[in-house]
Structure 1
């Protein structure tokens, strides 16, 4: 007899099949998030908006430029879109089970907030889970909004961010004082080189500034993508890809030129610590994120693309476990809690480590899900979400 809890056992044939393209796209987004986030573990300078003086070669600048061009400020948008899309799948699942959705959803958000708070303090100050948990309350409140209203609201949210950062840039404000940032970068690198207390203290110092960035830039744009995901979920776009080929083609044709133009400008202006760059990219990055999604979803419909989808899907299905594990692994590699390699590896080496981490997660996720229905953190969050919720038969 299996000793695993029922929720961790392999799915039975009576379990409704998951949408593997959703999981595959989530896995793709998870990879992009790691490529961006790992730089903030590898060097104390990254958070303060300056490059590490120890790595100032053309190759180092080139690697950073590629990451900024193709990844920075794009993949959290894709992940946010999937959060909104998955919301529609969760409501549909509750309807099929004849269960009350609100208690389940609110418990899930509470659990997500707690995980995010611990993640921000112990592992990574750039946590997005607490923001998602709070925005999830707004998404619930907006769940019945008309499609047209949802789209207009999303546009207004993005427009507000663009206007805010444009106004600050026009007013002559600067996001980075280079001399102060270099000093702060050295201090952060030293803090991360220390033990647990030093690392946590360094993260606490960053939280107020991180919270400001979340409040004024990431949260509004993430909510906008939640709403776009909600609309896409209503129309079951990912359930019927061939029926939406024309739409996805239009997204690609518009998204890549607009999105890449903004990405080039962001890179030329110095990345996400440029107010002008943030204003431009807040407007254009959703187009590039949408083009990425459309391209990957269409690719998944091909023979070779199906193999890629099947490779990415397990990591995406365990996205919460893998997201937290990425931070833990990076802490163990870069901070003094583990190997203490912060500030000692080139951007190219760091990029290579990110690829190795994600490929390992793909393989381990596939291995785990052959034996269990959920990832370990997903199971714990699900158990917390269902506690106290009366479930009735469908």
Structure 2
């Protein structure tokens, strides 16, 4: 989206010349994706700043009331929320890609499978080289499920999402009742956190070994996160089928109702989740699984309503360029994290308190907003989007305007 425009609802993309069959971009969709980038970074940056969060224990070096409050607020407002928004938008965009393929007269499924293969390779490289908490590989695998489910009716897709969400919550609830836990011994977990922090403080070889060592645990974590992302995929598929974001004006009452329900219920669940110790506590985790989608829906409803107020289009115009190149920005956040915190760069891992770490995340995000607007004023795609598009199309697509 051109950041100088005054409308954000439906705009022609700068990268779709006449006759390509590309439809208009949905400005709200790009702006929401740009908004999601902030939440993702706020959560992920803690895993660059210290080795302790990976082992689900706080860094004992930072235990002041300010440190605790900062971590608590992140758990309350961000953790387990924003990846759901990214997943929802993935499912919604999937329906737009289907429509684009129809307009262009090309077979959708082979191209989408090729796209997923490219996304999977990017995810593997990301996980090994930059961030062991990568989500791209999961998206690539779940994308195959989404492809198989593309013929589902909106109501059926939503029902399946709800059933899957309930099943995941039930399994974890049973584990909680039986006394299970993700951190059986906090002392052992703290020792492992110290070793991880020291490894990340080393050079490239040490960082890569730490990423590889963490892979089994991350794969286990995805056994929960993956099904929840699939739920959001299916809800996004249903929303895309009815073009919910193409024009939100007729849905203003629905957005208000989502806020009325989502905030009290979602914040109540998030409060129990944060007070209980975040993902380390299975009881709080169950409540978060059930209520986080409602809180995220309330966030989305608030953002959409804000985009359509008097100054809302300006806000959306600031966010949308970052959303248009969200893949580049997601990977760029990891590059920044590696350079700032690990021994590959400045080596600040374990040396920055939670609040300054949060401020660093905000600074990185602000830089990405400015860079995205500058880049898209000159190029049709983000750099990684261009690479993935060229791979998907099996040709070198034009990059410069």
Q: Same fold per TM (> 0.5)?
A: yes
**Residue in 1 aligned with 2:214?**
206
| Cα distance in structure 2, aligned partners of 1:307 and 1:148 | 34
Offset of 1:298 from its aligned partner? 1.2
Offset of 1:276 from its aligned partner? 1.2
* Kept in 2: contact 1:10–1:370 (CA 8 A): no
- Counterpart among 353, 361, 364 of residue 360 in structure 2: 353
1:111-260 residue pairs with structure 2 within 5 A? 111-176=118-183, 177-215=185-223, 217-260=224-267
Does 1:92 pair with 2:99? yes
Offset of 1:147 from its aligned partner? 2.1
* Kept in 2: contact 1:63–1:348 (CA 8 A): yes
**Residue in 2 aligned with 1:306?**
313
Unaligned runs of 5+ in 2: 1-12, 397-401
| Cα distance in structure 2, aligned partners of 1:241 and 1:10 | 23
**Residue in 2 aligned with 1:4?**
none
Offset of 1:148 from its aligned partner? 2.2
- What is the CA deviation profile of residues 101-129 of structure 1, one whole-angstrom value per residue up to 9, with x for unaligned ones? 11110110000000001101111111000
| Cα distance in structure 2, aligned partners of 1:212 and 1:13 | 44
- Counterpart among 28, 37, 49 of residue 44 in structure 2: 37
Does 1:262 pair with 2:269? yes
Give the alignment's Cα RMSD to 1 decimal. Answer: 1.4
Offset of 1:16 from its aligned partner? 4.1
| Cα distance in structure 1, aligned partners of 2:255 and 2:227 | 25
* Kept in 1: contact 2:154–2:239 (CA 8 A): no
Offset of 1:174 from its aligned partner? 1.6
* Kept in 2: contact 1:10–1:372 (CA 8 A): no
| Cα distance in structure 2, aligned partners of 1:80 and 1:13 | 29
- With over 3 angstroms needed to count, the CA separation of the structure-2 counterparts of 1:12 and 1:214, relative to structure 1, is closer
**Residue in 1 aligned with 2:328?**
321
| Cα distance in structure 2, aligned partners of 1:225 and 1:85 | 9
The farther-off stretch of 112-121 and 156-165 is: 156-165
Name which structure has the greater RCO, CA cutoff 8 Å, separation 6+. 1
Unaligned runs of 5+ in 1: 1-8, 390-394
- Counterpart among 11, 22, 44 of residue 15 in structure 2: 11
| Cα distance in structure 2, aligned partners of 1:110 and 1:81 | 20
**Residue in 2 aligned with 1:5?**
none
- What is the CA deviation profile of residues 193-221 of structure 1, one whole-angstrom value per residue up to 9, with x for unaligned ones? 00111111111111111101102x11111
Equivalent residue of 2:152, what SS?
A: coil
**Residue in 2 aligned with 1:53?**
60
| Cα distance in structure 1, aligned partners of 2:100 and 2:118 | 19
Offset of 1:146 from its aligned partner? 2.0
Offset of 1:13 from its aligned partner? 5.8
Offset of 1:35 from its aligned partner? 0.2
TM-score (norm 2): 0.93
TM-score (norm 1): 0.94
- With over 3 angstroms needed to count, the CA separation of the structure-2 counterparts of 1:137 and 1:12, relative to structure 1, is closer
| Cα distance in structure 2, aligned partners of 1:320 and 1:261 | 32
Offset of 1:165 from its aligned partner? 1.0
Does 1:290 pair with 2:294? no
- Equivalent residue pairs, number: 380
* Kept in 2: contact 1:10–1:371 (CA 8 A): no
Equivalent residue of 1:341, what SS?
A: coil
Equivalent residue of 1:237, what SS?
A: coil
The farther-off stretch of 252-261 and 62-71 is: 252-261
* Kept in 1: contact 2:155–2:238 (CA 8 A): no
* Kept in 2: contact 1:41–1:342 (CA 8 A): yes
| Cα distance in structure 1, aligned partners of 2:16 and 2:25 | 12
